[in-house]
Structure 1
């Protein structure tokens, strides 16, 4: 039973030309980023990306977190542009793989000096690290930017059993669920298991509640029981900080 319920050839080049100076190299990289950013901004204006001022988002990332963050945010925006228009299964795989490969897991207390902090995608990509909520939120917001309907996604709080019995440990965890239809078994996007699997193949997860931008569900309930922005203060705070980041 599904635990989540329904729902020139080199030799011809003079040797002194083969290795550009550091300044030349920086200039070329800068021109490349500007070209990419210009393309992304132009496409975003036509299709409605994750941010209305992409150049501002990239500048903010570099100001806060340094030049590597600029590169990483540009890679993220490039993902959004290149994946738009693909089928949903391919979008899920690309987004899941992007964050699982690029973001390092770490605890909130070390990253943000808070016991429980939900980072914005810009914050997570900027520092290159996050916990389970940060992975899930970043995937959710990226898929939303790709045009995936919010109604097909839920952020799911679960109890996760780490390690098999008898010595397994159970701890709170968050994953992203994708529902192809309202009554479909969800696919689970998780930072603990890289492969996207149906919920029935994740017996290590026990759902507690789930939510998205439209509703909140307890356990495997079929209908929403509340407005998430009124019941979840961290969700409300996250959305406000995303607006401050120039996202949403």
Structure 2
């Protein structure tokens, strides 16, 4: 971990001591714990062994611009909306912001089981990609790298995103992360789009520290099909992380809230999964021409398919619950167990009633049960939600 990042996270630890406690295990390896709406690992060991006066002194020694870069992210996460599903709380993606790029944990003993599994599947795809690449892949890499050199990171992201979104969406995959050669031949789902963009940008010169794959949990309809994977990039010249999302399924059904009103952006594929071969697969005719060298790569920018590159808060996934962040180096879980209240008012079970629930650390949460899934927020001393 760089000294600058270590100082930023230490600053974050100091900033959250008023709302959360740090649970540690001196006999085991450090692990990420999200309590009181904030990340308290992986630097908690350093904090534990440091006297409070020294911590405050260290905070005062951090340059003001560094504190300014860290504190707003911590404050935003403290006031974030956390969605509950299956007794897990997860913060909204856009409210996590640049904290997506905190240090990732490595090793199965430190990562969550879900995070370690995602990292392994990504590494398997990278290994397969080194052995076999799609015909014309190097043309894509060369032109994305050239776009970055000529006009900066944003242009490279726009081009890479548009190129990969020229692959047709097709459900019915086996759950593994497809390497680009298989993805280009068979098509795939959101995770396969995200992996292809990740590998294209890596080969075009982006560092792994700039790239994060995010696993987003269901918000309205708790089915496996509603989990979503997307690439997020910390690019030079952009004030906020950029979202590189994939095209939606070809047939979509909007799910409704408790009142029967349609909601978005969550969608599920209602096409016939029993016969995935019945639908077109592989790259579009335009991408085929680019791979063969008959058209320049920037031809895709004239009428791009799927979502364009936008900042995280402008993405169609901005309000989705964030479960895990990962790349080839490791992962970081943003999930926490939902607090179990010692006393939950009976009225809180009725729709539209906001209840106050205490967690094991004595922090109070305001719970809005008006939707299909409850929304949680930390409260201030007066019992009002922070957000």
Distance 1:88 1:5 in 2: 19
Contact 2:234 2:242 in 1 (8 A): yes
| Mapped partners of 1:119, 1:125: distance in 2 | 9
1:147 aligns with 2:205: yes
Residue deviations 1:114-147, cap 9 Å, x none?
A: 3x121111111122x1111100000000100001
Larger Rg: 2
What is the total number of aligned residue pairs between the two structures?
148
Mark the CA change 1:151 to 1:145 in structure 2 (over 3 Å): closer, same or farther.
Answer: same
* Partners of 2:154 and 2:235 within 8 A in 1: no
The match for 1:20 is: none
Distance 1:160 1:79 in 2: 33
Alignment of 1:180-195 (within 5 A): 180=235, 185-192=240-247, 194-195=307-308
Counterparts of 2:205 and 2:335 in 1: how far apart (Å)? 26
Give the equivalent residue in structure 1 for 2:165. 100
Contact 1:209 1:216 in 2 (8 A): yes
- How many angstroms does 1:57 deviate by? 4.1
| Structure 1 position 220, deviation (Å) | 9.0
Closer, same or farther in 2 for the Cα pair 1:185/1:218, shift >3 Å?
farther
Mapping for residues 85-96 of structure 1, pairs under 5 Å: 85=146, 86=148, 87-96=152-161
Cα distance, 1:204 vs structure 2: 3.8
Q: Following superposition, which runs of at least 4 residues in structure 1 exceed 3 angstroms of deviation? A: none
SS at match of 1:195: coil
Does 1:174 pair with 2:229?
yes
CA distance in 1, matches of 2:312, 2:334: 13
Shift of 1:219: 2.3
C-alpha distance in 2 between matches for 1:4 and 1:205: 11
Distance across 2 between alignment mates of 1:105 and 1:188: 18
Give the deviation of 1:99 after TM superposition: 1.0
Structure 2: gaps spanning 5 or more residues: 1-75, 77-93, 100-125, 248-305, 337-387
| Residues 3 and 207, structure 1, Cα contact 8 Å, conserved in 2 | no
- How many Å apart are 1:108 and its aligned residue? 3.3
Secondary structure of 1:6's aligned partner: helix
Q: How does 1:10-21 map to 2 (within 5 A)?
A: none
Structure 1 position 106, deviation (Å): 1.3
Pair 1:118-2:177 in alignment: yes
TM-score computed with the length of structure 1 as normaliser: 0.52
Q: By percentage of residues, which structure has more helix? A: 1
What is the Cα-based RMSD across aligned positions, in Å? 3.0
Equivalences for residues 149-164 of structure 1 within 5 A: 149-159=207-217
The alignment partner of 1:105 has SS state of coil
Q: If the length of structure 2 is used for normalisation, what is the TM-score?
A: 0.34
The secondary structure found in structure 2 opposite 1:104 is: coil
